[in-house]
Amino acid sequence: MTANKSVYLNGEILPISEAKVSVMDRGFLFGDSIYEVIPVYGNKLFRFEEHLSRLQNSLSAIQLANPHSAQQWLDIFNSLLEPGYDQAIYLQISRGVAEKRDHAFPTLTIPTVFAMSSPIEPFTDLNKGVKAISVDDIRWQNCYIKSTNLLANILLRQQAVEKGCAEAIMIKDGYLTEGAASNVFAVIDGVLLTPPKSAGIIAGITRDVILELAQIHSIPYSEDIISLDALQTASEIWLASSTREIVPVIELDGQPISEAAPGPLWHTMNQLFQDFKKSLS
């Protein structure tokens, strides 16, 4: 990331080295902030309305008014795009700067709005996959909020990395929730499965696209609970996120999945996803 990369902060576009937030910002002091990550393909925001609607859900959940209209958001994001490569907009909104540190909401604050665009590296190596571990989902009960409080997620992801793995797949009360930074799919008995949306997971936009593509192309799928025992018998496991798209898992807790290579349904779905992206530009 270069020092002269332009970012958006509270109404201004400025070099990242000059973008500064107060130490009294509640995002810094309490993690009192939410975020979004919106992929950009062919210089177009991918599923903009859906991302904006999830942003609104997160804002409503933390009782913060949306500081901008859809058109204003669009103008802000478009001003950050650099043509020529796949990128993602990172947007963070905090409850802003208060005079003193107090857990309760201050009466008057102006939200801090920060946005930047960074290159993304979707998973493209058709012959490789990643390793994952299963971990206890130690998070709170409102994981549908895209909160910047990601301490549990980063600690669990770090555990995975220290074991040479790319993702930590979280299990709550014996059942799959999601990855540290992804939704999880499994192919079991020929059916594509993913846990239903709930307060316990992020309502992933990539997840929605995969389910839509499965429906359109008559791939058997179901939104259903998946026990860890069932996950261990899966013929394929995938991770889905805006920054990496669909990533095949080829090893879970040291055991090979789909003969330690990306499975046939992953190849099909990945191709459908790539074709869908191309059809939009």
| Residue bearing tokens 């990539």 | 206
Q: Does 194 bind ligand PDD (CB under 6 A)?
A: no
189: DSSP letter: T
Which residue number, 206 or 270, has a Cβ lying nearer to ligand PDD? 206
Determine which residue in the list 58, 241, 258, 270 makes contact with ligand PDD, applying CB under 6 A: 241
45 binds ligand PDD (CB under 6 A): no
Least separation, in Å, of the C-beta of 210 and ligand PDD? 9
Residue 146 is which amino acid?
K
Binding track, positions 11-40, relative to ligand PDD; x by CB under 6 A: --------------------------x---
Q: Is 117 in the site for ligand PDD (CB under 6 A)?
A: no
Between 95 and 244, whose beta carbon lies closer to ligand PDD?
244
Element (H, E) at 21: none
User: Distance between CA 270 and CA 245 in Å, rounded?
Assistant: 8
Helix (H), strand (E) at residue 202: none
Active-site annotation holder among 146, 172, 277, 278: 146
197 is catalytic: no
Q: Least distance from C-beta 118 to ligand PDD, angstroms?
A: 10
Instruction: Estimate the crossing angle of helix 48-61 against helix 205-216, to 10 degrees.
Output: 130
Q: Examine residue 205 and tell whether it contacts ligand PDD (CB under 6 A).
A: yes
240 vs 250, which CB is nearer to ligand PDD? 240
Task: Select the span of 26-34, 109-117, 178-186, 246-254 touching ligand PDD (CB under 6 A).
Answer: 178-186
Q: Whole-angstrom Cα distance, residue 33 to residue 83?
A: 29
Q: Which tokens in the block code for residue 273? A: 């996803």
Smallest distance, ligand PDD to C-beta of residue 4, A: 24
Stretch binding ligand PDD (CB under 6 A), from 25-33, 122-130, 224-232, 240-248: 240-248
State in angstroms the smallest separation of the CB of 178 from ligand PDD. Answer: 5
The tally of CA atoms less than 13 A away on the side-chain side of residue 232 is 11
Alpha-carbon distance of 179 to 148, in angstroms, equals: 16
Question: How far apart, in whole angstroms, are the C-alpha atoms of residue 275 and residue 101?
Answer: 50
Q: What are phi and psi of 8, to 5 degrees?
A: -105, 130
37 vs 132 by CB, closer to ligand PDD: 37
Q: Report H helices in 7-135.
A: 26-30, 48-61, 70-78
Mapping DSSP to helix (H, G, I), strand (E, B) and coil, where does residue 198 land?
coil
Look at the chain and count its residues: 281
Q: From the list 94, 112, 117, 243, which residue makes contact with ligand PDD (rule: CB under 6 A)?
A: 243
Residues 127 to 166 in contact with ligand PDD, rule: CB under 6 A: none
Q: How far apart are CA 103 and CA 98, in angstroms?
A: 11
In terms of Cβ atoms closer than 10 Å to its own Cβ (0-12, 13-18, 19+), residue 255 is: exposed
Q: Which is nearer to ligand PDD, 156 or 187 (CB)?
A: 156
Q: Looking at beta carbons only, is 149 or 268 nearer to ligand PDD?
A: 149
The minimum distance between CB 26 and ligand PDD, in angstroms, equals 20
Catalytic residues: 146
Residues lying near ligand PDD in the complex (CB under 6 A)? 37, 178, 181-183, 202, 204-207, 240-243
